[in-house]
């Protein structure tokens, strides 16, 4: 991380400024080191260029690789004050979300730049459909991506001309994002492993805050949205894309209830089992949705899930397989009603600029502070 971005961070225990405590900074960059709160002296590590910040009461902690890197600097996990506390049921679910997505993005589908430059879910056209922020608003802006994962949204925002991108994610895939984003040389990056519901960022920091397909997997989505709003500057935009309740009968009434059983299945086995519904869905898409769309577009537009299935038709088979697995394994997977999405804006004193039922299965919301 760049040393100048340390001033953008805050202590999660007392809210004070941070400064470099240990580690060598070269070319205004800190690769491996420790930053310290200037008030309460709480320590936080910077590892492989990623700042790792959790509060003392957080349900999340350092992973084995992070601990090993810190040992080379002469520090132990106890120096960073993460509590080993008994977790509530919602916190246990959030930890399971973290582990499941690490498995999905690191082991099953570690997508590449070639995937991001192509069509389908991972491409820029899909991203701009999910998050319809104007390109001219992104160009030259400071943008936050909450739930950044391996960096899909970060990559597309860089290509749209963002000046600086702050990428936050709970999982270890944030480290992989750094390598994936090496081609984004024109954009400054601040990579943080932290919790969306308790972000270690100063208020009124970014021009645009984005959370794409992640807020529905946060155990306290209201607090998560409030954090996105908090770090957005006055007159700035906050944009989210979340699962909708409306138009999602298959998910809300069949898949979600089935998860009581599906969650008992080990991830590797569940991934293999996901192959069969993926194969069936691929046949339905290619033998029904796509031909009907070409022969009778007006009729096809009235078929349930048509727009979404046409988007899926652009995927590689593995990407569709990953998407089906995603729907089956998510321990927290909330579906928002329209009034709930509108209330997120109202509760945070923001003005709705766009509320769209994207592909009839998602809500895309853009609000201004």
Q: What token pair was written down for 320?
A: 């569709």
pLDDT of residue 62: 86
Q: What token pair was written down for 191?
A: 């990579």
Class (C level, CATH) for 112-245+335-368: alpha beta
- Domain spans of the chain, in order of start: 3-86, 95-107+257-329, 112-245+335-368
Q: Tens of pLDDT along 233-284?
A: 999 999 999 999 999 999 999 999 999 899 899 999 999 999 999 999 999 9
Helix H or strand E segment including 167: strand 164-169
What residues pair up with 206 in beta bridges, in sequence order?
A: 232
pLDDT tops 90 at residue 36: yes
What residues pair up with 99 in beta bridges, in sequence order?
A: none
pLDDT of residue 142: 98
pLDDT tops 80 at residue 105: yes
3-state secondary structure of 302: coil
pLDDT tops 60 at residue 83: no
Q: Tens of pLDDT along 314-337?
A: 999 999 999 999 999 988 999 999
Contact assessment for residue 208 and residue 137, using Cβ atoms and an 8 Å cutoff: yes
Instruction: DSSP for 101-133, please give it.
Output: HHHIIIII----HHHHTSSSTTSHHHHHHHS--
pLDDT of residue 357: 97
What residues pair up with 168 in beta bridges, in sequence order?
A: 146, 192
Higher per-residue pLDDT: 24 or 268: 268
Q: What token pair was written down for 53?
A: 């910040």
Contact assessment for residue 77 and residue 62, using Cβ atoms and an 8 Å cutoff: yes
Give first-to-last CA distance, the chain, whole Å: 28
Helix H or strand E segment including 262: helix 256-262
Contact assessment for residue 219 and residue 98, using Cβ atoms and an 8 Å cutoff: no
Q: What is the mean pLDDT of residues 23-52?
A: 90
Contact assessment for residue 138 and residue 157, using Cβ atoms and an 8 Å cutoff: yes
Considering the chain, what percentage of its residues have pLDDT values greater than 90? 73
**Weakest mean pLDDT among 7-16, 98-107, 204-213:** 98-107
Using CA atoms, how far apart are residues 2 and 5, in angstroms rounded to an integer?
A: 6
pLDDT of residue 85: 59
Q: Which of 190, 209, 198, 203 is nearest to 170 (CA)?
A: 198
pLDDT tops 60 at residue 358: yes
What residues pair up with 190 in beta bridges, in sequence order?
A: 166
Per-position b or e across 30-69, b if 16+ CB within 10 A of its CB: bebbbbbbeeeebbbbbbbbbbbbbbeebbbebbeebbeb
Q: What token pair was written down for 252?
A: 């809300």
Q: What is the mean pLDDT of residues 23-38?
A: 86
Q: Residue 356's pLDDT band (boundaries 50, 70, 90)? A: very high
Helix H or strand E segment including 43: strand 43-47
Q: Which of 180, 144, 186 is nearest to 161 (CA)?
A: 186
Higher per-residue pLDDT: 109 or 127: 127
Based on the number of CB atoms within 10 Å of its own CB, is 218 exposed (0-12), middle (13-18) or buried (19 or more)?
Answer: buried
Q: What is the DSSP letter of 88?
A: P
Q: Residue 87's pLDDT band (boundaries 50, 70, 90)? A: low
């Amino acid at each position: 991380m760049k040393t100048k971005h340390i001033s953008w961070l805050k202590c999660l225990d007392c809210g004070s400024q941070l400064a470099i405590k240990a580690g060598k900074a070269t070319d205004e960059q800190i690769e491996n080191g420790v930053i310290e709160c200037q008030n309460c002296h709480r320590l936080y590590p910077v590892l492989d260029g990623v700042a790792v910040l959790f509060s003392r009461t957080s349900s999340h902690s350092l992973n084995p690789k992070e601990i090993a890197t810190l040992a080379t600097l002469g520090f132990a996990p106890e120096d960073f004050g993460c509590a080993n506390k008994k977790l509530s049921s919602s916190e246990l679910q959030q930890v399971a979300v973290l582990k499941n997505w690490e498995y999905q993005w690191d082991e099953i589908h570690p997508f590449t730049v070639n995937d991001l430059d192509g069509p389908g879910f991972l491409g820029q056209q899909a991203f701009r459909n999910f998050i319809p922020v104007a390109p001219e608003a992104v160009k030259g802006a400071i943008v936050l991506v909450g739930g950044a994962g391996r960096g899909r949204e970060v990559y597309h925002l860089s290509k749209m001309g963002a000046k600086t991108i702050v990428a936050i994610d709970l999982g270890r895939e944030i480290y992989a994002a750094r390598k994936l984003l090496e081609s984004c040389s024109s954009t400054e990056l601040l990579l943080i492993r932290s919790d969306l519901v308790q972000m270690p960022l100063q208020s009124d920091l970014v021009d645009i805050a984005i959370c794409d397909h992640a807020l529905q997997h946060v155990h306290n989505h209201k607090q998560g949205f409030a954090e996105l709003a908090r770090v957005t500057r006055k007159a700035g935009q906050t944009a989210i894309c979340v699962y909708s309740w409306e138009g999602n009968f298959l998910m809300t009434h069949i898949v979600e209830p089935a998860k009581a059983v599906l969650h008992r299945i080990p991830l590797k086995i569940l991934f293999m089992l996901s192959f069969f519904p993926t194969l069936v869905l691929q046949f339905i898409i290619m033998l029904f949705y796509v031909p009907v769309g070409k022969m009778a577009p007006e009729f096809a537009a009235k078929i349930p899930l048509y727009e979404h299935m046409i988007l899926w038709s652009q995927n590689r088979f593995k990407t569709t397989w990953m998407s089906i697995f995603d729907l089956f394994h998510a321990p927290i997977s909330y579906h928002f009603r329209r009034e709930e999405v509108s209330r997120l804006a109202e509760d945070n004193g923001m003005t709705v600029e766009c509320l769209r039922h994207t592909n009839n299965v998602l809500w895309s919301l853009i609000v201004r502070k």
